Chain A
Amino acid sequence: MTPILFVPFLLLIAACTVLVGTDRSQYTRAKLAAYPIGAAFVGAGATLYLVATGGPIAVQFYDLSSVVTFAIPIGFYVDRLSAVMMTLITGVSVIIYNYSIVYMYQDRHARRYLAMICLTDLVLICMVSSANLMMLFLFWQILSYLLYVLAHNHAHAGTLAGAFKTFTLLRVADTAFLAGIALAYQLYGTLDFQELFARAAEKPIALSLWPGMEISAATAVTLLFFFGAMGKSAQFPIHLWLPGSLFAPTPVHALLHAGIINAGGFLINRLAPLFGLSSTALHVAFVIGTLTAILGASMMLAQNDIKKTLGFSTIGQMGYMIMECGLGAFALAVFHLIAHGLFKATVFLNCGNVIHKARQDPHSPYVDHQTEEPSLSPLTWFTGFVTTLFIPLLILLVTHGVLRIPLLESQGTVIFLFFIWITSSQAILTLTRLRAVASWKVSAAMLMTLLFIVFVYLFAVVSFTAFLYPDPEEVASYFQAAALPNWLFDVMIVMATLLTISGWTYLYRRARGRTMWMPAWIEGVRIRLYVLFMNRLYADEIYQQLGKSLMEVLHRFDKSAQGWSR
């Protein structure tokens, strides 16, 4: 038996260990269940090794020629993408489960909760290792329900409303996914991944939506799948379930933000060969991702609640990830989701301590630098300028002028360079204090940060991409499919660069004690935007109003129809 089957089996054993037994032995069993979860992690690691060295592993329990004769076509297909996801999920699960044992100690519902965590892991593992779309969809739906159930305190009105919202919004996306499956099966006659990709690439089909209006089959199918992915990955405008579910216990959030929410990114990556056939779908993904990234990050900045801040941060990051997919950088998106998952799980598991400390100590969290003079430190400013503006531009010139890499023809390379620049700037500006006194340590930290990020990205670009997508032509074809019109791409790059430089200038002038003249209307817009983002664009209220209006119409219809029909 391959280790693939061991991994879900061990998680099932863990769930059963927690669930079955007397109340007296509950804590012991909970601790005992950590071992199978740990073993599942080891199994996932072994699977990753096997897949990396020996190629994909397939285990099928159904007749390939007809997926639908078996109600649930159970089968596993583990390639490098699946193996990486399995390792991530089980790794995070080990930490979260062990944390939860202590966190839920003596809670009345600890047994149900811990078993649910194990079952969610099991469902996630089965989902990422599915051999066909049907099985993936099956576990995808179960996950929607588990997310609803995991919102723990059902006696609390806010939790209930959030859980219901989570379930209904995820079901909306699930419906699109289902429609995509129906269309894909009708067009290509298979739901098996490899066959589906081969048939879709073999012969392009045109769908006539309207006389004179045609759409490629790959576009129609991928758009429906993308809508499905939008739900799980909390993309605008169906992101509302994520902040709505924030009443759930903290470890659930760690699991949600480190594993479950990555399902959308995983789905797009799993179907990358299909998405690669449709530029339109990739462009839509890019637009939605960008919008979500901007709105998510903006809303995050205006929140005053630690969990909500983290929730919107995740929405922004998911937007960023989907944007990467939309740009054809599929491997980068996976790398991003792993990095984000680990980071966010850590932050969520720690945020309880911060809240606890803040409740006990009114001065916590400490706001330092209050006594600092807002003076300018030329050394740190110079280093910051060099690391975040000068070096990136130098790299750009060197790659273009000296190394003769045709950047203008290769959007993919520019995208990677651009991401390096954005990430390093963000990291440097977040980790270091520009107002601090001149210090070689701060300057060295900036340089080290830049170097670290450059090397991490180099690893992501070269090694990780080659690991996930070993065929360079395939990678190039994705970039080609995702390529934006040159003028648009140039405009976006120039706009982003100008924005970054303006930001720097603004910061610099403020640090020097100078003010920047702003028209009054801009200040007014800024305040209005702040209120808007603080209230999360009033999206909850809009959805509520929509639901209310729909119910009013239905009730009116119900009353009017009573004469003819009850």
Chain B
Amino acid sequence: MIDATTAPLLLAGVPLLGAAFSFVVWNKPDHLRGWSIIVCLIGLVAAAGLSEYLAAPPEGLLLVYLLLVAACASLLGQPVHRTHRPSWLLTLIFLGLGLSILTSQNQLSQIALLLLLSLTAVLLYRHHTQLWPISWWGIGAYGLAALCVVNSIVAGPPLSSITSLLACMILLPLVPFHEGYITVLTRLPGNLPSFIVLLFPAIGLHGLASVVPTVPDVVAWAVNLFALAGTLYGAGKALAQSRARLLLSFGSLSLYSMLWWFVVATRATTPRAAVFVGAVGLATSGLFLAWQVIRTRYGDDVDPQSISGLAATMPRYAVLLSLLALAAMGLPPFGLFAGFMGLLLPSAVTFSLSLLIMVTAWLAASWYIMGMVQQWLFGAKRPDLRYTDLLHSELAALMILVGVLLALGVMPATFFGPDGTATATSAITESFVWKN
């Protein structure tokens, strides 16, 4: 019989079993990728079928579905090649662990998290080169996160809640614990960055749900400060980058820092926060895939500054990239705008300088993302470049992401789960103090 204990196991079992069976078609990369995608689709159907048996966390089950969609899209957007097989296999394993963390009860969830963090540290070590000494920071960050998880299992409160918070800071990136996140997105191969950009923050948000209400005020104050610093730091760093992966990593760091500020200010995670995380993750994932399309055509070490004029020669790519950029910049009618407004309007946070910083970071996203997209799409067409528009699988991957982002933007907030803060806030009728 299916119940609340077995349903998460069944759900997590789909991708894990899929990963185990993938060795059957290991020698045929096209079959392996097809198999991986089918597993993700089965997972999606299983999630829909098992949803009534799954215990809904405060942020709702939206992220469970979005993880499956992101995994599927990241696999579709990857070209078929032997060298990408390990990353497809790891996507399924990460997906299984991620689903287990998001849906299981405490202990199993923490074991899965421990496994995930350890596996990430190992992967970073595996892909470490002397040219990128920064990888050590990432390995250290995920090692620390794993220690924090162990500590939160064995120690009692308040130490356990603080170590859990620390683990969340590494997963849902927050300055100064963001190194792991940046390293994972810039160092891991294949489609893994485009999947992890949603996976880790989703797990971080899930962890925050139980930790945030128990965090002492002084810690919350410090986190608040980190969030503000991270928002500006991420935006500033993104503006200074010329490398696509670094730009996207720092840009998403800035946006996730905004979420931290809202969550700490309201001391709660809501389905709106899940919409925001999902939208940031999917939009960044889409841009990673779009960058992958360019790398597939012009090589891994292509300089983004040397690409121009794609709008005229790759119209389908141009349209989808523009839509993804719109979503990532927080323009309507996409999910990031809806998520941001959903956090901004009904929350109990007072209008303050901090809120202005949030809004400024939101503005900065328009600057660096538009700069990047304009560089790629417009300008003079280069005769020495070979232009090939999107292949069917790439087109499908980007279209799925754009479609989901659109759905996140136009669907009523109540669709994603009940929200205590959704009721209209009462008007302030007394003197109102601007918090400097």
Contacts and interface: CB of A to CB of B under 8 A. Distances in A.
A525 to B, nearest CB: 38
Contacts of B306: none
Contacts of B345: 67-68, 181-182, 185, 191
Interface string B419-436: 000111111111111101
Given A68-B413, A71-B342, A186-B350, A164 B379 contact: no
Given A72-B409, A138-B333, A141-B331, A154 B414 contact: no
A432 to B, nearest CB: 48
Nearest to B408: A71
B311 interface: yes
Given A142-B331, A168-B367, A178 B411 contact: no
Nearest to B349: A186
Interface in B378-425: 378-381, 408-414, 422-425
Interface stretch (B18-26, B77-85, B96-104, B358-366): B358-366
Most chain B beta-carbon contacts within 10 A, residue among A65, A175, A190, A191: A175
Given A141-B332, A171-B366, A68 B309 contact: no
A206 interface: yes
A565 B431 contact: no
Interface stretch (A243-251, A421-429, A446-454, A553-561): A553-561
Given A68-B342, A68-B346, A72-B338, A188 B378 contact: no
Given A142-B332, A154-B311, A164-B374, A187 B427 contact: yes
A154 B338 contact: no
A66 B425 CA distance: 8
Contacts of B182: 565-566
A71 B432 contact: no
A546 interface: no
B151 interface: no
B381 A155 contact: yes
Nearest to A167: B370
A215 to B, nearest CB: 8
A165 to B, nearest CB: 11
B422 A66 contact: yes
A182 B350 CA distance: 10
Interface string A544-556: 0000000100110
Interface in B316-347: 326, 331-333, 337-338, 341-342, 344-346
A561 B232 CA distance: 14
Chain A, interface size category, equals 35 or more
Interface stretch (B57-65, B112-120, B158-166, B237-245): B237-245
Interface in A144-180: 145, 154-155, 157, 160, 163-164, 167-168, 171-172, 174-175, 178-179
B429 A205 contact: yes
A71 B363 contact: no
A356 interface: no
A209 B338 CA distance: 29
A40 B302 CA distance: 49
Given A141-B332, A182-B355, A188-B427, A208 B338 contact: no
A208 B422 contact: no
Contacts of A160: 374, 378-379
Contact of B423 (A66, A164, A175, A182): A66
A70 interface: yes
B134 A70 contact: no
Given A203-B429, A217-B432, A68 B422 contact: yes
A69 B422 contact: yes
Contacts of B380: 155, 157
Interface in A68-123: 68-72
Most chain A beta-carbon contacts within 10 A, residue among B241, B360, B427, B436: B427
B351 interface: yes
A359 to B, nearest CB: 25
Interface in A210-238: 210, 217
Contacts of A66: 422-424
A505 to B, nearest CB: 50
A297 interface: no
Nearest to A172: B363
B246 interface: yes
Given A71-B410, A209-B434, A155 B379 contact: yes
Nearest to A140: B332
A555 B414 CA distance: 43
A558 B240 contact: yes
Most chain A beta-carbon contacts within 10 A, residue among B183, B341, B412: B341
Contacts of B381: 155
Nearest to B134: A566
B206 interface: no
B356 interface: yes
A175 B359 contact: yes
B312 interface: yes
A466 interface: no
Contacts of A134: 341
B33 interface: no
B49 interface: no
Contacts of B432: 187, 205-208, 217
A178 B359 contact: yes
B355 A179 contact: yes
B255 interface: no
B428 A186 contact: yes
Contacts of B412: 69-71
A203 B432 CA distance: 13
B216 interface: no
B433 to A, nearest CB: 5
B236 interface: yes
A72 B411 CA distance: 8
A56 interface: no
A207 B363 CA distance: 25
A107 to B, nearest CB: 13
A70 B199 CA distance: 27
B140 interface: no
Nearest to B333: A72
B362 A175 contact: yes
Nearest to B272: A68
B331 A145 contact: yes
B240 A557 contact: yes
Contact of A190 (B360, B422, B424): B424
B362 A189 contact: no
A322 B268 CA distance: 43
Contacts of B424: 65-68, 189-190
A323 B425 CA distance: 35
B89 interface: no
Given A155-B309, A186-B350, A178 B332 contact: no
B332 A199 contact: no
Contacts of A174: 363
Nearest to A109: B312
B332 A138 contact: yes
B411 A551 contact: no
24 contacts: A65-B424, A68-B342, A68-B424, A70-B413, A71-B338, A141-B332, A141-B337, A142-B331, A142-B332, A154-B379, A157-B379, A182-B345, A187-B351, A187-B427, A189-B424, A189-B426, A189-B427, A209-B434, A210-B434, A554-B239, A555-B240, A558-B236, A566-B182, A566-B246
Given A68-B341, A164-B370, A191-B345, 10 more contacts: A68-B346, A71-B341, A72-B333, A168-B367, A171-B363, A171-B366, A178-B344, A182-B355, A551-B240, A565-B182
Interface of A: 65-72, 134, 138, 141-142, 145, 154-155, 157, 160, 163-164, 167-168, 171-172, 174-175, 178-179, 181-183, 185-191, 199, 203, 205-210, 217, 551, 554-555, 557-558, 561, 565-566
Interface of B: 134, 137, 175-176, 178-179, 182-183, 186, 236-237, 239-241, 246, 309, 311-312, 326, 331-333, 337-338, 341-342, 344-346, 350-351, 355-356, 359-360, 362-363, 366-367, 370-371, 374, 377-381, 408-414, 422-434, 436
A-B CB proximity, top 4 nearest: A154-B378, A558-B240, A71-B338, A189-B427
